Structure 1
Amino acid sequence: MQDYFYSLADAITSSLQGDEVYTCTFHGEDSDFVRLNHSAIRQPGSVQQRSLSLDLIVGRRHAPGTVTLSGDFESDCERLEMLVGELRQKLPYLPEDPYLLYATEVTNSESPGENHLPEPEDAVAALMAAGEGRDLVGIYASGGTYAGFANSLGQRNWFSSYSFNAGWSFYHEKDKAVKTAYAGLAWDSAAFDHKVEVALSHLDVLRQPPQTIEPGAYRVYLSPTALYDILGILSWGGFGLKDHRTKRTTLLKMVEEDARLHPSVTLSENTAEGTAPNFQDAGFVKPNCVTLIESGRFVNCLVSPRSAEEYGVPANGASGGEAPESIDMAAGTLASDDILKRLDTGVYISNVWYLNYSDRAACRLTGMTRFATFWVEDGEIRAPLNVMRFDESVYRMLGDQLIDLTAERELILDAGSYFHRSTDSGRLPGALVDGFTFTL
């Protein structure tokens, strides 16, 4: 596949005229999907797709376009030749782009991932065994994802990764279910069995009558999954240079008022340990790691090529959205076995949903608990909780109200599959927070 992409890139180069330059990116996947319901296979399937996105450039004018590839070289070359012709016709009518920036220094790279995936039937068999006699609903996705970059200056980059993502719920009744996920690059039966064991213990609690607590401030434990969703919202305009320079960032207080998070909070874009490509669409190779927040202080923005050109600063490999794709939070000191003991009396939150900002300038989020959320007393789970709405500032939950982060972290792979399987990921601890505000 890598050689095929490079051959197509060479064919595009040979079709150029005059001062034309191009950049192009390749995206592909070979994925297996299996949907389960009532612990039985309901919809097996597989996806093989490849596409190539091309940007034809003359001076500061450029025209983008995308084609789906068939795998037949002659046919794909014809499609690309037609695309180049169409873009060439558009170019004279397009305005100059003052912030156009693409890599002109050739930096080649190859990062072929190793395939340690289980056979799909073995992974699905493990899921079905876990759901035997229970109502298990979920999806299993696995396979290879591929990305490439090429330009007419001779640069060639290739990246591939092989991952699996199993997400399932043990359903009890009505809105009561235990949602769990296990994802990674290599299947570990012991790790999977532990996930199942914990989920089943939570399912036993869900069979008890649910409890409702009064609105107010409580000590809570946020699972890595819940924290990943919270950081996902924070990434909407939190870390990008464009948002910082236009003062739209939700972390403006950290930049202008020296507001800080807890000293144990260190966040980074850890490309080297993620599953996303280590280069972006304009041909800039990403650093292995960009520290965003260090020991509670904001230190770096993510800078896309367009922002770099607009504001006269170096790019650091960020994509156009300037959002983390491989978010990483440093571990704390709280042992997983001590979570309930340290929580003592409060709320154990496994999942959150309907997250949004209630006050962007204050970096305040609102959302709801979902699935296995429990009331804990004296270090023991006592009862499931009915759905609660919370409204809390990141400056509190990851700042002065943060008690500790867990010493163990979890690799979370984004389960999105719009257009293609997502390559975003997070490596996160859980968080023990005091005075977490529930509003209703």
Structure 2
Amino acid sequence: MTPDRFFDLFSALEADLGGGEVLFAGLGAERSDFVRLSQNRVRQAGSVDTADLGLTLIDGARQVEGSCQLGGDAAGDLGRARALLGQLRQRIAHVPDDPFLHYSREPASSERRIDADLPRPEEAVGTLTDLADGLDLVGIWAAGDVVEALASSVGHRHWHASRSFNLDWSCYLDRDKAVKASYCGFDWQPEQLRHKLDHQRADLAVLGRPARRIEPGRYRAYLAPAALQELMDLLAWGGFGLRDHRTQQTPLLKLATGEAQLSPMLTVIEEHKRGLAPGFTAEGFTKPEQVSLIEEGWYQDCLADARSAKEYDAAVNAAAEYPESLAIAPGDLATAEALRQLDTGILIGNLWYGNWSDRNACRMTGMTRFGTFWVEHGEPVAPLAVMRFDDSLYHLLGDRLEGLTQERELLLSAETYDGRSTDSALLPGALVSGIDLAL
């Protein structure tokens, strides 16, 4: 699907509209390659080439939505789209007025393309399996093009296309003993992949030692970017949305009211201009280049989608009330120096099974995962037995935060449930003076 074909399709639909009808059309398309690996061998390979059309018909204060797949044949696609529009017309007479109906009434257009230097799937996987020779590697390669576009009878014409790759894998030592890594982005560089695998080999050597068991308590820790991402993903569950703040359900309520503060080192931004997600919403609003969520430890702004903006008389600044292109500003700590600064404590590579243990106190619980080690004098000396943490972000990213790394890691979402996700995060590692381990 090209911009011309999509906008021509919409123009034909627009010509069928009756007086007072408003139509929005959204395109979601992708052309991606997927390769699954097990024991460092290809187990499944395939590709996806799909395009979905979503229509929103508005008449007065009523709206209905529907979708259909497009096949690539212009006449056939127009027929399917017209049939869908006819179904929406039949339904709209039977729905009530929507008090929070909110769409942009200002025409706007944009075109953005994020390109990438992608290897062929066989080249990427061949490089990976050669570099991982002798390792029990399990993972998935996903790469290709994702398109999101919008057209409306108001006069919107937006096109957003991105190309990226995402390699997500684990290397197993025995049963549940493994180390996990990912390599994703836009510029394929085998040397970076080699560096990550060399690091995993070193971790596997430590992982083969007898596990260290420690008593519950508070320990110094270094959280790798992937571990910090688990905390931020959970915080995104109600932490930044306007509706959650106005209804006082946000776990950051004390921060928003000024009763609590996070570390002055912490600045959190929703970077629309950087991310893979489009710079417009399904309702035609243009997103700002960035939204400052937390600045030097203080809460700044909420993410407001169209419906919440209507309900609370605010400006639309996001397509959804959770981050899609999150970034934490870098700190002054060199990643190479992080373990030396840690000295003795815990290196946490990943966390999982995160949940709220006390939402009002912004307190989280979860489990340590792959690549968690006991560190002495700045060197990993033994794998750490699986532990449960239970701590508040007001401590981990507040009074106990000692440093954030200068280097940040780009982490693309590996979700593919409804197509390849365009969510991303750009995160540093975090050195904390203590994390509470419950058991």
Shorter chain as normaliser: what TM range?
A: over 0.9
Q: What is the CA–CA distance in structure 2 between the aligned matches of 1:95 and 1:344, rounded to whole Å?
A: 63
Residue by residue, what CA displacement relative to the aligned partner does 1:124-154 show, whole Å, maximum 9, x if unpaired?
A: 1111012212211111110011000110122
Partner in structure 2 of residue 405 of structure 1:
404
Give the conservation status (yes or no) of the 8 Å contact 1:118–1:186: no
Letter in 2 for 1:350: G
Partner in structure 1 of residue 37 of structure 2:
36
Letter in 1 for 2:387: M
Residue by residue, what CA displacement relative to the aligned partner does 1:71-115 show, whole Å, maximum 9, x if unpaired?
A: 111111111111111111111111101111111101100002224
Q: CA deviation at 1:64?
A: 0.4
Letter in 1 for 2:246: R
- What residue ranges of structure 2 are gaps of 5+ in the alignment? none
Letter in 1 for 2:324: E
Q: CA deviation at 1:193?
A: 1.5
Question: Structure 2 matches for 1:61-210, cutoff 5 A?
Answer: 61-210=62-211
Q: What is the CA–CA distance in structure 2 between the aligned matches of 1:389 and 1:74, rounded to whole Å?
A: 58
If the length of structure 2 is used for normalisation, what is the TM-score?
Answer: 0.98
Letter in 1 for 2:32: S
Partner in structure 1 of residue 370 of structure 2:
371
1:388 aligns with 2:387: yes
Q: What is the CA–CA distance in structure 2 between the aligned matches of 1:231 and 1:71, rounded to whole Å?
A: 39
Give the conservation status (yes or no) of the 8 Å contact 2:115–2:164: no
Q: CA deviation at 1:422?
A: 0.3
* Partner-residue secondary structure (3-state), 2:197: helix
Residue by residue, what CA displacement relative to the aligned partner does 1:208-248 show, whole Å, maximum 9, x if unpaired?
A: 11111110000011110111111011001110101100111
Q: What is the CA–CA distance in structure 2 between the aligned matches of 1:115 and 1:206, rounded to whole Å?
A: 35
Q: What is the CA–CA distance in structure 1 between the aligned matches of 2:270 and 2:254, rounded to whole Å?
A: 21
**Alpha-carbon RMSD:** 0.9
* Partner-residue secondary structure (3-state), 1:217: strand
Give the conservation status (yes or no) of the 8 Å contact 2:128–2:193: no
Give the conservation status (yes or no) of the 8 Å contact 2:132–2:197: no
Give the conservation status (yes or no) of the 8 Å contact 2:270–2:327: yes
Q: What is the CA–CA distance in structure 1 between the aligned matches of 2:121 and 2:307, rounded to whole Å?
A: 41
Q: What is the CA–CA distance in structure 2 between the aligned matches of 1:204 and 1:228, rounded to whole Å?
A: 26
Percentage identity across aligned positions? 48
Q: CA deviation at 1:189?
A: 2.1
Give the conservation status (yes or no) of the 8 Å contact 2:287–2:316: no
* Partner-residue secondary structure (3-state), 1:361: helix
Letter in 1 for 2:222: Y
If the length of structure 1 is used for normalisation, what is the TM-score?
Answer: 0.98
Q: CA deviation at 1:191?
A: 1.7
Q: What is the CA–CA distance in structure 1 between the aligned matches of 2:58 and 2:412, rounded to whole Å?
A: 35
Q: What is the CA–CA distance in structure 2 between the aligned matches of 1:54 and 1:34, rounded to whole Å?
A: 32
Q: What is the CA–CA distance in structure 2 between the aligned matches of 1:133 and 1:328, rounded to whole Å?
A: 36
Q: What is the CA–CA distance in structure 2 between the aligned matches of 1:340 and 1:115, rounded to whole Å?
A: 33
* Partner-residue secondary structure (3-state), 2:365: strand
* Partner-residue secondary structure (3-state), 1:334: coil
Partner in structure 1 of residue 324 of structure 2:
325
Q: What is the CA–CA distance in structure 2 between the aligned matches of 1:92 and 1:169, rounded to whole Å?
A: 53
Letter in 1 for 2:84: L
Residue by residue, what CA displacement relative to the aligned partner does 1:374-401 show, whole Å, maximum 9, x if unpaired?
A: 0001111110011100001011000000
Partner in structure 1 of residue 340 of structure 2:
341
Q: What is the CA–CA distance in structure 2 between the aligned matches of 1:296 and 1:118, rounded to whole Å?
A: 41
Letter in 2 for 1:336: T
- Post-superposition, which runs of at least 4 consecutive aligned residues in structure 1 deviate over 4 A? none
Residue by residue, what CA displacement relative to the aligned partner does 1:156-187 show, whole Å, maximum 9, x if unpaired?
A: 00001110000111110021001110000111
Partner in structure 2 of residue 233 of structure 1:
234
Q: What is the CA–CA distance in structure 2 between the aligned matches of 1:258 and 1:163, rounded to whole Å?
A: 42
Q: What is the CA–CA distance in structure 1 between the aligned matches of 2:260 and 2:69, rounded to whole Å?
A: 47
Partner in structure 1 of residue 359 of structure 2:
360
Question: Structure 2 matches for 1:277-288, cutoff 5 A?
Answer: 277-288=278-289
Partner in structure 1 of residue 429 of structure 2:
430
- What residue ranges of structure 1 are gaps of 5+ in the alignment? none
Partner in structure 2 of residue 216 of structure 1:
217
Q: CA deviation at 1:57?
A: 0.2
Q: CA deviation at 1:274?
A: 1.2
Partner in structure 2 of residue 420 of structure 1:
419
What is the count of residue pairs matched by the alignment? 438
Residue by residue, what CA displacement relative to the aligned partner does 1:266-304 show, whole Å, maximum 9, x if unpaired?
A: 001001111111111111111111110000000000011
Q: CA deviation at 1:313?
A: 1.4
Letter in 1 for 2:96: P
